[in-house]
């Protein structure tokens, strides 16, 4: 889409946004703010409120620039008298305290939510003499983000706070009310199209992940020959497997090494500092080694906990999707050990590659979840229960063929995944650039909206 620029521009007198259309004004946002409400932090359970019940918003309700009222926690009955500031239509919710990337995040409220309330870390901003949806799009632009970063500079590197006076002093470009409405309507339409394309690509990523796991699961439980005779595996939920395959348990073909816990008092003892893998480093099928922490241990502990090439690393717990996920250790870091929430499965009668594919399969995930201890959104499994995982053994030649097939399929799916990820990145860049250009007057969208409204 090619859109014209305005006929005339002027220097706004402000570095951000720079030049603006000649008939626009650039004012401090306080000139269009009617009121800023602050909420109250109350005790609540970490599950959303039922319909008609009171909920207090989580700061995640505006993480992606969209207001999501369902991101709330049910307020405890004894706290109901303390809740304050119900969510109202045509306001903008702003995160005043958050991590550097998320402080200042904002979302537009499109309908009243009389049972949903603000915590003290969120503001609800009421406006006058402006179009709230236009102001919301301004909060999604670099013009706004740049001012947030300056206002929060020098505060904590992990948690930053935005003051009301700072927020009110931010500069905002302001066209006429009719033009604000036209720009907001244009962006609603165009970002809606882009969001639909992003959703399609994200759906494709989900399907690719499902296809990957289904491919692995079928290959390591049924083999590549659809006509192979089958037998009962002896495991009720696993069903039949090729008749010539052997079925055993992980404990007979590998050992499981637990890691070391942080927090041990080493005062007065000789220690060495070594790299230390955490759950965050062990991803599904690969290792994320960009940020590896260190730990002080006694020298004699190194031999006990040192990772060996060929160890299959598995997460002991965390979110449901993290349970049992893992990858093969290839000796990427010398003298590296692992935390107690990461198991090192050390094969002695099975290849690491075959074991890694087994633990990535749907049936292994079923075993891990079935044997795990679970709480709300979290699960953990003991090394004893990991050792009970059924292991299927085809002959070595067939193992090699299955692994080659899975590697080929994974490479094909990886290429599709990478292409889809690139498409999402480009679409998001396009979305951000379009919003920035429209709210700062770098493009004139009035003609585009008039053309849409003209039935002829």
Within this chain, do residues 103 and 183 fall inside the same structural domain, yes or no? Answer: yes
Question: Which two three-digit tokens encode residue 41?
Answer: 């932090």
**Does 380 reside within a domain?**
yes
Domain that holds residue 267: 246-393
pLDDT of residue 61: 97
Q: Alpha-carbon distance 343 to 277, whole Å?
A: 10
In the chain, what is the straight-line distance between the N-terminal and C-terminal CA atoms, in Å? 20
Same domain, 273 and 341: yes
What local confidence, expressed as pLDDT, does residue 456 receive?
53
243-271, pLDDT tens digit by residue? Answer: 999 999 999 999 999 999 987 888 888 99
Is the domain of 53 the same as that of 99? yes
Say whether both 259 and 176 belong to one domain.
no
Domain limit, last residue, from 372, 393, 414? 393
Query: Are both 26 and 171 inside the same structural domain?
Result: yes
The Cβ of residue 5 has, within 10 Å, a number of other Cβ atoms equal to: 12
Q: For residue 118, is it within any domain?
A: yes
Is 18 in the same domain as 165? yes
Same domain, 365 and 441: no
In a shared domain, residues 250 and 101: no
Tally of domains in the chain: 2
Question: How would residue 326 be classed by pLDDT, with cut points 50, 70 and 90?
Answer: confident
The pLDDT mean for the chain works out to 94
Q: Do the domain assignments include residue 386? A: yes
Give residue 206's pLDDT: 97
Whether 41 has a pLDDT exceeding 80, the answer reads yes
CATH of the domain at 133: 3.90.220.20
**Considering the entire predicted model, what is its pTM?**
0.86
Q: How far is CA 452 from CA 192, 441, 446, in A?
A: 15, 20, 10
Is 290 part of a structural domain of the chain? yes
Do 262 and 147 have their domain in common? no
Same domain, 433 and 381: no
Tell me the per-residue pLDDT of 137-162, one tens digit each, with 9 for 90 and over: 999 999 999 999 999 976 677 899 99
Within this chain, do residues 86 and 40 fall inside the same structural domain, yes or no? yes
C-alpha–C-alpha distance, residues 19 and 407, integer Å: 54
Token digits of residue 90: 């045509």
CB-based contact 204:421 (threshold 8 Å): no
Q: Give the pLDDT confidence score for residue 448 in this predicted structure.
A: 86
Same domain, 260 and 112: no
pLDDT above 70: residue 453: no
385-437 pLDDT, tens digit per residue, is 999 999 999 999 999 999 999 999 999 999 999 999 999 999 999 999 999 99
pLDDT more than 70, % of the chain: 98
Q: Tell me the C-alpha distance between 119 and 41, whole Å.
A: 5
Judge whether 200 lies within some domain: no
């Amino acid at each position: 889409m090619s859109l014209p620029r305005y006929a005339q521009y002027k220097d706004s007198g402000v570095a951000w946004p720079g030049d603006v259309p000649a008939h626009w004004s650039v004012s401090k946002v306080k000139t269009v703010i009617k009121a800023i409400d602050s909420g109250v932090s109350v005790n609540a359970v970490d599950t959303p409120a039922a319909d008609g019940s009171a909920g207090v918003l989580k700061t995640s309700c505006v993480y992606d620039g969209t207001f999501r009222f369902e991101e709330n926690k049910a307020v405890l009955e004894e706290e109901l008298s303390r809740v304050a500031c119900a969510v109202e239509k045509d306001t903008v919710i702003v995160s005043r305290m958050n991590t550097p990337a998320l402080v200042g995040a904002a979302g537009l409220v499109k309908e009243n939510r009389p049972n949903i309330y603000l915590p003290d870390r969120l503001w609800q901003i009421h406006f006058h003499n402006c179009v709230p949806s236009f102001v919301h799009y301004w909060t999604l632009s670099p013009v706004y983000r740049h001012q947030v970063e300056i206002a929060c500079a020098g505060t904590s590197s992990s948690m930053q706070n935005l003051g009301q006076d700072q927020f009110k002093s931010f500069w905002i470009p302001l066209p006429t009310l009719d033009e604000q409405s036209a720009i907001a309507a244009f962006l609603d339409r165009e970002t809606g199209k882009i969001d639909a394309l992003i959703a399609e690509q994200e759906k494709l990523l989900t399907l690719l992940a499902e296809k990957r796991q289904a491919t692995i699961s079928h290959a390591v439980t049924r083999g590549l020959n659809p006509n192979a005779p089958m037998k009962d595996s002896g495991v009720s939920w696993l069903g039949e497997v090729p008749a010539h395959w052997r079925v055993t348990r992980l404990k007979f073909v590998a050992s499981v090494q637990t890691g070391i816990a942080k927090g041990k008092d080493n005062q007065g003892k000789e220690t060495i500092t070594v790299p230390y893998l955490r759950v965050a480093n062990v991803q599904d099928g690969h290792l994320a080694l960009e940020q590896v922490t260190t730990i002080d241990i006694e020298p004699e502990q190194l031999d006990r906990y040192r990772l060996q090439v060929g160890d299959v690393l598995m997460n002991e717990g965390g979110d449901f999707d993290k349970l049992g996920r893992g990858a093969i250790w290839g000796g990427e870091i010398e003298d590296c050990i692992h935390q107690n929430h990461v198991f090192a499965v050390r094969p002695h009668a099975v290849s690491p590659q075959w074991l890694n594919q087994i633990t990535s399969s749907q049936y292994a995930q079923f075993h891990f979840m079935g044997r795990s201890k679970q709480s709300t959104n979290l699960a953990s499994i003991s090394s004893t229960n990991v050792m009970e995982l059924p292991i299927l053994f085809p002959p070595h030649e067939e193992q090699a063929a299955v692994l080659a097939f899975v590697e080929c399929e994974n490479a094909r799916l990886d290429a599709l995944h990478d292409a889809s990820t690139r498409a999402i990145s480009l679409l998001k860049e396009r979305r951000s650039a379009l919003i920035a250009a429209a709210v700062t007057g770098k493009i004139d969208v009035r003609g585009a909206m008039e053309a849409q409204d003209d039935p002829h």
